[in-house]
Amino acid sequence: MPRGFRKNFATGLIAILPLALTVLVLWFFISKVGDIFGRAIRQIPQLEQLPNFVNALLGLIAMIILIYLIGLVTSSFLGRQLLRFGELLITRLPLIRSVYTSARQLTETLFVDKAAFRKVVLVEFPRKGMLGIGFVTSDRKWKINDDPPRYAQNVFLPTCPNPTSGWYLLIPEEEIISTSMTVEWGMKIVISGGMVLPYETDLDKWRITES
């Protein structure tokens, strides 16, 4: 098979896969999970005569409300303690522990808080001459020298493909290459391991010269 065909096919697959997975997940929740809650709703005498798709939709709404309430409870101190206790019990079960840990890592990867990142930067890591994609995590800086004044920025360098782990680094400002790349694009590159890249791959065009 020609190399160009394989490359273009892989690029097309990467482009369409997120949309296909989104449609698949929505279909699953509406048709399957929504139907489960809909069966419970049909037990209410006033609602048992409603069409099946209406019951499924009501079931989906009930599920969303339930998930929201669970999130509300687990956001409290008592809820967090109960969640930790439940996780402690689960992690003591050999087979279930592996499944739960994998599912949690996947969830954390999908829902990593991109809002915590201020901007995308390039830093020399893990050695001089190699560049890694990092994210500035705070507008505040660390003073590392008084005369002349020098400052270091807070930079998080995520691992691939799981950006929830990585290195927290204090890097002198003069050693950081600032870019105009969006945080979303930076995360796409990290999570895909470089398989998903922006159209422009000339670093000089992404580089921002600090005034």
pLDDT (average), residues 167-196: 90
Adjacency order of strands within the sheet including 150-158: 166-172, 150-158, 131-145, 119-124, 177-178
pLDDT (average), residues 15-34: 72
Residue 48: predicted pLDDT: 66
Contact present, 91 and 97 (Cβ < 8 Å): yes
**pLDDT tens per residue, range 43-99:** 777 666 767 667 667 777 777 887 788 888 877 888 788 878 887 887 787 777 777
More confident of the two residues 27 and 109? 27
Identity of residue 69: L
Work out the pLDDT band at 210, boundaries 50, 70, 90: low
d(CA 158, CA 194): 13
Lowest mean pLDDT among 16-20, 161-165, 173-177, 187-191: 16-20
Residue 112: predicted pLDDT: 58
For the domain made up of 114-206, the CATH class stated in words is mainly beta
**pLDDT tens per residue, range 88-123:** 887 787 777 777 777 776 666 556 555 568 899 999
Work out the pLDDT band at 163, boundaries 50, 70, 90: confident
Residues with Cβ within 8 Å of residue 169, at least 6 apart in sequence? 123, 125, 134, 155, 156, 157
Residue intervals in the chain for CATH 2.30.30: 114-206
Q: Which helix (H) or strand (E) holds 8?
A: helix 3-28
Looking only at the bridges linking them, the beta strands covering 150-158 and 131-145 are: antiparallel
Average model confidence (pLDDT) across the chain: 80
Contact present, 121 and 131 (Cβ < 8 Å): no
Burial of 183 (0-12, 13-18, 19+ CB in 10 A): middle
d(CA 190, CA 159): 7
Cα-based angle 132, 196, 122 (whole degrees, multiple of 5): 20
d(CA 36, CA 64): 13
Work out the pLDDT band at 176, boundaries 50, 70, 90: very high
Judged against a pLDDT cut of 70, whether residue 157 lies above it is answered with: yes
